[in-house]
Amino acid sequence: MTPKLEGKVAIVSGSGRGIGRAIALKLASEGARLVINDLDSAPADEVLAEIRALGGEAIACAGNVTAPDFAERFIDTAVSAFKGLDIIVNNAGYTWDATIQKMTDEQWYAMMDCHLTAPFRILRAAQPVIRGLAKADAEAGRRVVRKVVNISSVAGLFGNAGQTNYSAAKAGITGLTMTLAKEWGRMNVTVNCVAFGFIKTRLTAVTTESTTAKIDGHDIKVGVNPELMEMMQRSIPLGHGGTPEEAAGSVYLMCIPESDYVSGHTLMCTGGLTGI
């Protein structure tokens, strides 16, 4: 059986770790050629090695998605290496929490830059490439459906205490998704959004200590208190937080031919949780 994404070219931001890594591996397992991105080269190179060990093709584009020149470099990497662009997954992100009275402008803009401005820039840079590819497809008499999957969160749909910045940015990405679905439909591009609930990654691991991760030059508190974790698990109808692989499956659904007539939609991947 031919893999569903055979020959497709996919770029996945934040794909050196966690959910992004799982998305990249899933798409590669179905035949896609990948551009892997992470802040650091080492995690991206590890994913490259995993994909190549499976017989897939991939190349890295390390760097910060919020850098002004990143979007063009990301798109150019795909076009230069693989001569095409079929799937864009805007996944890169992190949280930097505080209640609104304690939240700094830096925290606010960091979330806007990462979760909303960076995807906007990537999609803006992709538009001329996709327009050219769509025109060539039309002239050749073939119909090729391309895919954009933006990553949101239940925090963007329902809000979450302590995450004014993150929730606002994730709400914004759903608006960007619905608007671009209207603009890009004429180019045979579906634009959808996946809103994750609680997914188990290094940023949400159980910890009883004050643990931080160096993200974009900041020491960001990560991890979930065991008591809070237990309460969260009980609130999820399926009884557990999602794995990165389960999260990746929902993104994959929006990338395969079976979803070619689904656009402007936000899919919740939450284990049945419908509010937080």
Query: Is 216 part of any domain?
Result: no
237 within some domain: no
Catalogue the E-assigned strands of 129-177. Answer: 146-153
**pLDDT at residue 228, rounded to an integer:** 61
Q: Classify residue 178: in a domain, yes or no.
A: yes
Residue 188: which of 131, 226, 149 has the closest Cα? Answer: 131
CATH number for the domain spanning 148: value is 3.40.50.720
Q: What is the pLDDT of residue 28?
A: 98
Pull the structure tokens for residue 195. Answer: 């809103």
Q: What is the pLDDT along the chain (276 residues), one digit of tens a residue?
A: 899 999 999 999 999 999 999 999 999 999 999 999 999 999 999 999 999 999 999 999 999 999 999 999 999 999 999 999 999 999 999 999 999 999 999 999 999 999 999 999 999 999 999 999 999 999 999 999 999 999 999 999 999 999 999 999 999 999 999 999 999 999 999 999 999 999 988 766 655 566 666 677 777 766 555 666 677 778 899 988 999 999 999 999 999 999 999 999 999 999 998 876
In a domain, 232, yes or no: no
Question: Range of 127's domain?
Answer: 9-199+242-269
Structure tokens at 156: 């963007």
| C-alpha to C-alpha distance for 76 and 85, rounded to whole angstroms | 10
Beta strand 218-222 with 189-196 is: unpaired
Separation CA 119–CA 179 (nearest Å): 13
Asked if the structure places residue 219 within a domain, the reply is no
Separation CA 231–CA 106 (nearest Å): 31
Q: What is the DSSP letter of 39?
A: S
In a domain, 43, yes or no: yes
Tokens coding 53: 């060990």
Specify the pLDDT at position 104: 98
Say if 13 falls within a structural domain: yes
Cα dihedral sign for 238, 242, 246, 250?
A: positive
CA-CA distance, 157 to 259, in Å (whole number)? 22
Catalytic residues: 166
Number of structural domains, the chain? 1
Residue at 276 is within a domain: no
What's the pLDDT at 242? 94
- The pLDDT value given to residue 273: 87
